[in-house]
A and B are shown apart, each in its own frame.
Chain A
Amino acid sequence: MLEIKNLHVKLEEEDKQILKGVDLTVEAGKVHAIMGPNGSGKSTLSYVLSGRDGYEVTEGSATLDGEDLLELEPEERAALGLFLAFQYPVEIPGVGNMTFLRTAVNAQRKVRGEEELSAADFLKLVRAKAKTLKIDADMLKRPVNVGFSGGEKKRNEILQMAMLEPKMCILDETDSGLDVDAMKLVADGVNALRDEGRGFLVITHYQRLLDHIKPDVVHIMANGRIVKTGGPELALEVEHNGYADILAEVN
């Protein structure tokens, strides 16, 4: 589904190489996790895939179901089914959460040639999904992420994902800042979406999340590359021993 080959990325403004040849394939129906030290390039990878400005791809490719992602505008990638739950969700004063969600859902439906959701249908759907994530009506009415707690912001990301039903979901540290109960809610939200046709790329620092969202494959990213790939046991190894052993081994 998601195929990244030899991806090299530098900052547009500076002569700084951040990704130095990333190879990664996520198959439909699978959950892949990426772990790795701070600053290794995990968020950069997720931003480049979703089309954020400021990065320059110097080599390599990234495709979603065969479509060249790197050629597309961020909104086109979203309409293709790519979703990024941000490590730091953005506050947008003056834009109601509900208006935002509805605009996004309908924009994507439009691109896919589907009919727009009516206000009533949308409301019903969003209320039901918000309820399972314990997001109250008040949060839906407030401006996007403004005054939300860290955990509320992360749950709001998952609500957006649930509403948009993307086929390739990238979660960048969605577990950080969550209390134990919220983590369970978020994991349930993700697991509810797991199916044959959908792929997940879960970026995390903690094995704990992976207890709830069982990964099929775990990758270790260091210094702009995937340096090791394995099964769920790799996450346990990191949890117990840190990255030193793995990094020593690959060097």
Chain B
Amino acid sequence: MALPEAKQSPTEARLASLSLPTAGCTRDAREAALARVREMGLPGRRDEYWKYTRPDTLIQPEAPKAAVFTADEPLMFDQIDRLKIVFVDGVFSPEASDDLSLEGVQIERLEDICCKDFHWAKELYGVLEARGQNPVPRPLAALNTAFAADGVAIHVTGKPSKPICLIYKHESETSDAILHHVIRVESGAEVTILENGPAASRFNKCMEIDVADGGTLHHVRAQGRDHERRAATHMFTRLGEKSVYKSFTLTVNGVLTRNEQVVELTGDEGVAHVSGACVGDGDFLHDDTVFITHDAVNCESRQVFKKVLRNGATGVFQGKILVKEGAQKTDGYQISQSLLLDDDSQFLAKPELEIYADDVACSHGSTSGAIDETALFYLRSRGVPEKDATNMLTLAFLAEAVDEIEDPALVEDIVARLQGWLARRS
């Protein structure tokens, strides 16, 4: 069926600005993805899934300019011993990166997987993304699969001694980066993946994660402080039996962020936790869109999202738990909350449950509110100045999400970043 004109021309305009990488074993996957894009069309304002977030600037042919932010503070996770993989405006930088060898894991640049023994990566590339197009289309992810300019394949076969950290530097005001990573965690293996940095003026990132039975993947990311940057990210995760996936995202600033998480629990007793804390001030829209499918028994999923909004900032949450027929004993939890620091800010939430099994426990809740005046007075009556008390209560509000991170060193880093944001506004 042909796309309506309103979709067709912006889609073709965007496609015209890109070209498929020529060689490589991902060529078939890329062509198939391109066909998906053409079939779905890029997101438009009328799409139900984009009701709260305008996709215009994410799909227009050129990336809108975004000033490069020079940080007055050390890089995120700098205190943590980690293997660094650096991308500058979406291009891998071997000079800035560490040596990629680490026991328990093999890492290859995407363009090199063809000449190496990385069959699993060739077989994974674009596959989870394609699966994730149902029942809701995610055309920006298909666009990513087709045109990704760089990325890494990470094969976790053991328990590497330190986290693998993807660092995304933003140096050009007009950069338009498309990165695609594939990760396979083997049975019984365990890894922590960190990501940080704004990446580019406009960033389209897709990560496909396949966790085999009994594997564990922890993911913590911080999206960078550049005010004008835009990002659309997708994480597609497939979980096997007794596997664990825990992902946390911190977003501080950024004019537009859309983070989609698509998780499929395909083996019994799997665990998936996705969480996020964001703080936005002024021209800021942050959208968490989550889709968790329970397709096995005894699985647990949690979604914990907290947003602090001020000066007209907007927060969006679309979260769904789909429990398929037969996915008995599902334990699903979802909470999305916003703290509005003034009357101009807004939070738009669409929590959804769709359940086809009868023996499940699912709960969801969404709230939006101001600082608790009674608690504020209590703190002030003990001598804590109003600003400090407000900041304490704001951090306390975010704590439920931040507490989803297991590693205390990472928690400390995230909290410090949040404190910095609050302090700059006091």
Q: Are A95 and B393 in contact, CB atoms less than 8 angstroms apart?
A: yes
Of residues 379 to 401 in B, which have CB atoms within 8 Å of A's CB atoms?
379-386, 388-389, 392-393, 395-400
A103 B400 Cβ-Cβ under 8 A = no
Inter-chain CA distance A74–B398, complex, in Å, is 25
The answer to whether B73 has its CB under 8 Å from any CB of chain A is no
Q: B397 to A94, Cβ gap below 8 A?
A: yes
CB contacts under 8 Å to A, within B272-303, are: none
Using a CB-CB cutoff of 8 Å, which residues 74-113 of chain A contact chain B? 74-75, 77-79, 83-84, 86, 89-95, 99-100, 103-105, 107-108, 111
Contacts A50-B381, A78-B380, A78-B383 given; does A95 touch B388 at CB 8 Å: no
Which chain B positions have C-beta within 8 A of A84? 381
| B375 CB–A CB distance under 8 Å | yes
Counting contact residues on chain B (CB < 8 A from A), the size range is 20 to 34
Q: What residues on B are CB-neighbors of A143 within 8 Å? A: 396
Docked CA distance A45–B363 (Å) = 43
Q: Which listed residue (B378, B389, B397, B399) contacts A86, Cβ 8 A?
A: B378
- Residue contact B384 to A75, C-beta cutoff 8 Å: yes
Taking A90-B375, A92-B393 as contacts, is the C-beta distance between A73 and B380 under 8 angstroms? yes
B383–A75 touching, CB < 8 Å: yes
Which range holds the interface residue count of chain A? 20 to 34
Query: Is A103 a contact partner of B384 (Cβ separation < 8 A)?
Result: yes
Known: A94-B399, A95-B392, A95-B393. A79 touches B373 (CB 8 A): no
A78-B382 in contact (CB<8A)? yes
B396/A92 in contact, CB under 8 A: yes
Question: Taking each of B375, B378, B396, which has the highest tally of chain A beta carbons within 10 Å of its own beta carbon?
Answer: B378
Asked whether any CB of chain B lies closer than 8 Å to the CB of A53, the reply is yes
**Interface flag for B49 (CB, 8 Å):** no
Query: CB distance B382 to A94 under 8 Å?
Result: no
Residue among B372, B379, B381, B392 with most chain A CB within 10 A: B381
Complex: A79 Cα to B385 Cα, angstroms: 10
Interface assignment of B79: CB less than 8 Å from any CB of chain A: no
Q: Which residue of B lies closest to A163 (CB)?
A: B382
Q: Are A94 and B373 in contact (CB under 8 A)?
A: no
Say yes or no: A111 contacts B396, CB within 8 Å: no
> Are B385 and A107 within 8 A (Cβ)?
yes
CB distance from A164 to the nearest CB of B (A): 7
B50 at interface, CB cutoff 8 A: no
Q: Are A92 and B382 in contact (CB under 8 A)?
A: no
For B397, what are the chain A residues with a Cβ–Cβ distance below 8 Å? 94
Most chain B beta-carbon contacts within 10 A, residue among A74, A99, A105: A74
Residues of B near A86 (CB, < 8 A) are: 378, 381
Distance, CA A142 to CA B69, complexed state (A): 39
- Known A-B contacts A53-B377, A160-B382; A103 and B388 likewise in contact (beta carbons under 8 Å): yes
Q: Is the CB of A164 within 8 A of B382?
A: yes
Alpha-carbon gap, A74 to B384, bound state (A) = 9
Query: At the interface, yes or no: A189 with Cβ under 8 Å from chain B?
Result: no
Question: B134: CB under 8 A from chain A?
Answer: no
Q: Give every chain A residue within 8 A of B393 (Cβ-Cβ).
A: 92, 94-95
Residues of B within 8 A of A36 (CB): none
Which of B374, B375, B383, B400 touches A107 (beta carbons < 8 Å)?
B383
Q: Which residues of A contact B389 (CB under 8 A)?
A: 75
Tell me if A78 and B388 are in contact (CB < 8 A): no
Q: Which A residues are closer than 8 A to B by beta carbons?
A: 50-53, 73-75, 77-79, 83-84, 86, 89-95, 99-100, 103-105, 107-108, 111, 143, 160, 164
Q: Which residues of B contact A (CB under 8 A)?
A: 372-375, 377-386, 388-389, 392-393, 395-400
Interchain residue pairs A-B with the least CB separation, the first 4: A94-B396, A78-B383, A104-B382, A74-B380
